[in-house]
Amino acid sequence: MKKPIRIAGIVCAVVAALLLGMFVVAKVVITPERVKATLTEAAERRLHRPVRIGEIDVRIFSGIVVQGLTIMEKDGAQTFVKVEQVKLNYQFWPLFSKRIVVDEIRLDAPHIRVVRMPDNSFNYSDIMAEKPTAPPEKPKQKGGIDLLVSKASLSKGEVSYEDRTGKFGSPFVYTIRDIEFSAKDIAPEKPLPFSAGAGIPGARLEAEGTLTGAATKPAIDAVIRVAEGDLKKLIAGLPAGLAAKAKGYDPGGVIKARLHCAGPVAAPKGLLKDGELQLENVQVSAAGQRPSLTGKLELKGDALSSRDLVLNMGANKLQIALAVTHLSAKPVSITSEIKAERLDLAPVTAKQEPTSPAGGAAAKPEPGPLDLPVRASGTVQLGQVLYKGVTVSNVLLKYRLIDNILTIDQFSGNAAGGTFADTARIDLRQNGFGWSTRLTVRGMQAEQLAAAFAPKASGTLYGKLALNAELAGMGTSSAAIRKSLGGRGDFKFTEGRLTGPGLVQHLALFLNLEQLRSIAFDTFSGTFRIESGRARIESGISGRDVQITQKGTAGLDGSLDLSLVTRLSPQLTGRVAQGDIKRFLTDDKGWGLLPLKVGGTASSPRFGIDASVAGQQLKTRAREKLQQTIEEKFLKKQEGEPKRPEQELLEKGLKGIFGR
C-alpha cells in the first residue's frame, strides 16, 4: 500500500518539477522584448508599415497585455491605427488537449484613420490588394485544434474618415466616436452574436444581431436603431459641402429609426428587409414657410407605408396616407390620400409674385422633359380652402401618373356661389410639359373670381358665370403659355353689369353718356376660339337700356380689334343724336344703332365709328323711309290685299338705288 502512494508522490513531484522548469524556461525565453520584436517584425512584414508596440506584460498562465499599439502610414508620417491597450486572457491547461480557450480579447480606445485619395483609392488599399490564389485547403483531419473565445470587446473606439476627392466641395473629415463592440461565445464556423454602438454628430446608433460565415462569405442578421437623431445637429455635422446645400432649408426635428438588415455583406443593396422611421416635428424652411411633418413610415420588404402622418403648415393640418410598392423595381408604385378640414393658402400666396426677367436677362428655362420611374395615383379631399378671399368648399382632386403622363380625372368644388369641375392631362415627357384641360363653371359670381384670379379686372364685371372651355398649350411661364395657348369655349353671364375703368369707361367718354359708365345686363353670352395668341370672340349683351353685339379679336397681350354694334334705348339715343340724323340711326321703336370699331388695348381702348356699317345702316334706313313715304302717298292698299306689282317694282328699284 505504501509503494503505490510513494510512486504517486514521485510522479507528482516530477510533474511539479517539470511545470516549474517550464515556467522558468518560459520566463527566460518568452520575454516581453522577444515577444515585442517578434510581433513587430511579423506585423510590419504583413502591413508594409512601421509598427510601434508599447510595454508588454506576458503572463504565461493567463495572457498578454499590450500597453499601446500604433500602426503608422506607409511613409511613417501619420498614424493609421492606434490602440491604447490590447488585452488577451486565455486558459493555460486546455492547451494540452489541443483546445484554445480565450476568456477575453479586449481593445481599449482604438483609433482608425481612413483616407480616401483624389484617385478614389484608400490608405489601406495596398493591404486589401488581392493576393495570388492559394491552393485549396485540405479538409481538416480529426484531432485538430479547437478555438473558443468567450468574449471579445472594443470600447471608446473612433474612426476618422478623411475625403480628399473633392466630390463634396472641399476636402473634409468626418468622425465617428464612442464606438463600442461586444461578442460572446466565438468559435469557427458558428454564428457570432454581437452588439455594437457608435456616436455620430446628432445621433447615437445601436446594433444587435448575428454574424455568420465571417471567414468565408460573411452575412448578418441585425437590428440597427437610432434612439433620437437631432436633424439640425446631424446636418451641421456633415461635411461643409453637403451641409451648405441644406443650410437654406434649415432642417430641424427629431428622427427615430429601427432597421432590420439581413443577408450577405457583399450585397449591401439587398440588406434592408424591414424597419420603421419615426418623425417628430421634422421641419424645413421653403418659400417663406416652415412646414413640419410628424408620423411614422414603415418598411416591409419592398413596400413602404405611412401611419398617422400629419403635415402641419401654420394653422393648416393635412393628414397623409401613403403606400409605396415595388421599391426594388421600376417603376415604383405610389398611392396617396390627403385630407384636411381647412386649408388657408394665404401664407403661400402672400409671398411676392415672381417678376419678369430684366431687360437682356435670360428667361428661366422651361422644365422637362422628365423620365420618372414612378406610377402614382391618389386623391386630395379638402373641406374648405381659402384662396385670395374666395372660399372653396368640398374640394376633390383625383389624379394618376402613368408613363410620365399626369392625368387629373377630377378636380371639383364649390366656390363663389357656384360650382366648378375640371379635368386635365399633362405630358411630363415634353420640354415645358404639354398640357390640356376641360373646365366647366356653373353659377359662380364673376367679381369674386376676378378678385382672386384676375386682380386687374376686379370691379369691372359682375354677374353669375356659366362657362365651358377646352384649352391646351405648352410651358409653365406666362410668356410660353401666351405663345402656345389654344382652345375654344362658350360663356354666359346673367343678371350682372359692366363697369370700371377700361372698355366701359372709354365707351361712355366717346359717346358722352354718363349712363354708360355702368351697363346693366340680363345676359352677356358668347363664344370664343383662341389661336396664334389671339382670341376670336362673338358675343352679345342684352340689357334694358343697352344691347351690344361684339365681334372680332382680342390678343392675349391685351390688344383689341373689335366691332361693336351698339343699340341704345330711346332715352339714351336722344342724348347722342338729334335732328334728321336721329331718324337714320333709330328703328321704328326709337332704339338707336351705333356701329363702332374698337382698337388699342383693354386698358386703353380707342373707339371710332365703323363707317362701312354706319353707311350701310343709313342706306337701309333711307330706303325704308322712302319706301314708306311712297307707299303711304301713292300705293295705299286695303287690309288683306295682296302685294301689288307696282309695290314689288318699287322695292326692286329702291334696292338698286341703295346698293342692295
**d(C-alpha 26, C-alpha 19), whole Å:** 10
pLDDT of 79 above 50? yes
pLDDT digits (tens, 9 = 90+) for 180-236: 999 988 777 788 899 999 999 999 999 999 999 877 889 999 999 998 899 999 998
Give the SS3 label for residue 642. Answer: coil
The model's confidence at residue 503, banded by pLDDT at 50, 70 and 90, is: confident
DSSP string over 372-422: --EEEEEEEEEEEEEETTEEEEEEEEEEEEETTEEEEEEEEEEETTEEEEE
Asked if 266 and 242 touch (Cβ cutoff 8 Å), the reply is: no
Whether 396 is covered by a domain: the verdict is yes
pLDDT score of 147 = 58
Q: What mean pLDDT is predicted for residues 641-647? A: 53
- Give all strands (DSSP E) within 60-191, no chain letters: 63-72, 79-90, 99-116, 146-163, 172-186
Cβ neighbour number for residue 633 with a 10 Å cutoff: 8
Q: Note whether 397 and 446 are same-domain residues.
A: yes
Residue 541: give the domain boundaries. 488-609
Average pLDDT over residues 28-57: 79
Residue 614 lies in a domain: no
- Residue 66 belongs to some domain of the structure: no
108 pLDDT more than 50: yes
Cell 424652411, residue located: 285
Question: Which residue in 137, 115, 110 sits closest to 126, CA to CA?
Answer: 115
Over 90: is that where the pLDDT of 99 sits? no
104 and 86 in contact (C-beta within 8 Å)? no
331 or 62: which carries more pLDDT confidence? 331
Residue 300 sits at φ, ψ, to 5 deg, of -135, 110
Instruction: Indicate the burial class of 55 (C-beta count within 10 angstroms; 0-12, 13-18, 19 or more).
Output: exposed
Q: Which amino acid is at 319?
A: Q
Instruction: Assess whether 429 and 472 both reside in one domain.
Output: yes
Q: What are the φ/ψ torsions at residue 627 (nearest 5 degrees)? A: -60, -40
Inside any domain, residue 180: no
Same domain, 480 and 499: no
The verdict on 548 and 588 lying in the same domain is yes
Same domain, 601 and 493: yes
* 239 or 426, which is more confident: 426
Domain boundary (484, 512, 544) is at: 484
Domain boundary among 442, 467, 484: 484
Residue at a domain's end among 450, 484, 518: 484
Instruction: Let me know whether 449 and 510 are in one domain.
Output: no
Any domain includes 309: no
Rounded Cα distance between 79 and 227, Å, is 33
Among 416, 417, 420, which residue's Cα sits nearest to residue 388?
A: 416
pLDDT band at 387 (very low <50, low <70, confident <90, very high): very high
Residue 149 predicted with pLDDT over 70: yes
Same domain? For 409 and 452 the reply is yes
Cα(318)–Cα(324) distance, integer angstroms: 19
- Contact of 105 with 152, CB cutoff 8 Å: yes
If asked whether residues 387 and 474 sit together in one domain, one would say yes
Q: Does residue 630 surpass a pLDDT of 70?
A: no
**Interval 266-310: pLDDT, tens:** 898 889 999 999 999 999 998 788 999 999 999 999 999 999 999
Same domain, 498 and 572: yes
Q: DSSP for 303-324? A: EEEEEEEEEEETTEEEEEEEEE
Averaged over 644-653, what is the pLDDT? 50
Q: Tell whether 451 and 526 lie within a shared domain.
A: no
Neighbours of 402 (CB within 10 A): 12
CA distance linking residue 628 with residue 647, whole number of Å: 11
| Per-residue pLDDT at 38 | 78
Q: Could you tell me if 518 and 535 lie in one domain?
A: yes
* Average pLDDT estimate for 639-656: 51
Torsion angle of the four alpha carbons 27, 30, 36, 39, in this order, in degrees rounded to the nearest 10: -150
| 475 occurs within a structural domain | yes
* Domain contains 288: no
Radius of gyration of the chain (CA): 46
Enter the DSSP assignment of 329.
Answer: S
Q: Are residues 447 and 542 in the same domain?
A: no
Quick one: how far is CA 652 from the chain centroid?
Answer: 75
The proportion of the chain whose per-residue pLDDT surpasses 90, expressed as a percent, equals 48
pLDDT of residue 58: 75
Number of domains present in the structure of the chain: 2
103 located within any domain: no
651 — pLDDT class (breaks 50, 70, 90): low
